[in-house]
């Protein structure tokens, strides 16, 4: 019954990783402007998306979260930093056709049991380090992205394989990975913290997959 982008996006199949050297985040009013040799691309929120996948003993649920804003920093046509924010109030479910059950699920995900959306309406992913990846087991991914994911004002380091392409001044990236929700104090239905849950147990790992387009 769970998840985020997510984040960023999101999902996701690695857990929390080590963050690399911190990169100073740059801001700009317009795409293409540079500061100290760094080009800033604005995330196209209408073309970008974050999908979530929550698993439980009896099945799974999936949906989306909207990206509210973001930017990617380039140096010599290589990603060196950036960030994007997720509007947690936009969580939707895509697999439940019954309107009543769909609403119950989303209301629960927004509650104190999960993302506490009223208190924490925004989640954020910040890129700290991007390194080339050559892994025959992951042929669709060419980089390892490391950064920090903030949910409910709790910030944790994560690392995951991603595809990043830059052509004609447009960046496109996608990834698919898992994170452990309990790292962000989301413990509802977790077998780590509660006993005798039976078929009501929810997986600690939730999936995030994202598509980012920045220009």
Phi, psi of 130 (to 5 degrees): -135, 125
Q: Say how far apart CA 187 and CA 191 lie, in whole Å.
A: 9
pLDDT at 205 over 60: yes
pLDDT for the residue 35: 53
Instruction: Output the DSSP codes for 26-75.
Output: ---SSTT-EETTEEEEEB-TTT-EEEEEEEETTEEEEEEEEEEEEEEEEE
Q: What's the whole-model pTM score?
A: 0.80
Q: Say how far apart CA 156 and CA 164 lie, in whole Å.
A: 23
pLDDT digits (tens, 9 = 90+) for 142-193: 999 999 999 999 999 999 999 999 999 999 999 999 999 999 999 999 998 9
Contact by Cβ (8 Å): 41, 72: yes
pLDDT at 2 over 70: no
pLDDT at 23 over 50: no
For 186-189, the CB contacts below 8 A with 24+ separation are 186/2, 186/113, 186/114, 186/115, 186/151, 186/152, 188/2, 188/113, 188/114, 189/1, 189/2, 189/56
| pLDDT class of 95 with cuts at 50, 70, 90 | very high
Upper half-sphere CA count for residue 36 (Cβ side, 13 Å) = 7
- Cα–Cα nearest to 179, from 4, 56, 22, 50: 4
The β-bridge partners of 164 are: 173
User: CA 102: distance to chain centroid?
Assistant: 22
Q: Say how far apart CA 139 and CA 209 lie, in whole Å.
A: 17
Alpha-carbon torsion (172, 177, 182, 187), positive or negative:
positive
What element of type H or E holds 101?
A: helix 99-109
What b-and-e string marks burial along 36-45, b requiring 16 or more CB atoms within 10 Å of the CB?
eebbbbbbbb
Class of domain 34-214: mainly beta
pLDDT for the residue 21: 33
pLDDT digits (tens, 9 = 90+) for 47-85: 999 999 999 998 999 999 999 999 999 999 999 999 999
For the chain, the structural domain boundaries read 34-214
Q: Say how far apart CA 163 and CA 211 lie, in whole Å.
A: 10
Q: Say how far apart CA 82 and CA 173 lie, in whole Å.
A: 13
């Amino acid at each position: 019954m769970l998840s985020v982008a997510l984040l960023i996006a999101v999902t996701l199949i690695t857990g929390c990783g080590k963050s690399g050297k911190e990169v100073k985040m740059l801001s700009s009013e317009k795409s293409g402007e540079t500061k100290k040799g760094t080009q800033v691309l604005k995330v196209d929120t209408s073309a970008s998306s974050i999908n979530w996948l929550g698993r439980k003993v009896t099945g799974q649920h999936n949906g989306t979260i909207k990206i509210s804003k973001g930017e990617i920093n380039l140096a010599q046509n290589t990603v060196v930093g950036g960030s994007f924010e997720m509007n947690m109030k936009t969580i939707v479910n895509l697999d439940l056709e019954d309107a009543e059950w769909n609403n119950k699920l989303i209301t629960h995900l927004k509650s104190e049991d999960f993302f506490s959306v009223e208190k924490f309406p925004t989640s954020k992913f910040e890129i700290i380090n991007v390194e080339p990846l050559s892994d025959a087991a992951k042929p669709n991914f060419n980089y390892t992205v490391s950064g920090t994911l903030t949910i409910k004002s709790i910030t944790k380091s994560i690392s995951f394989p991603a595809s990043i392409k830059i052509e004609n001044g447009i960046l496109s990236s996608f990834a698919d990975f898992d994170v452990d929700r309990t790292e962000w104090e989301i413990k509802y239905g977790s077998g780590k913290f509660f006993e005798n849950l039976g078929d009501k147990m929810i997986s600690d790992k939730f999936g995030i997959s994202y598509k980012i387009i920045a220009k």
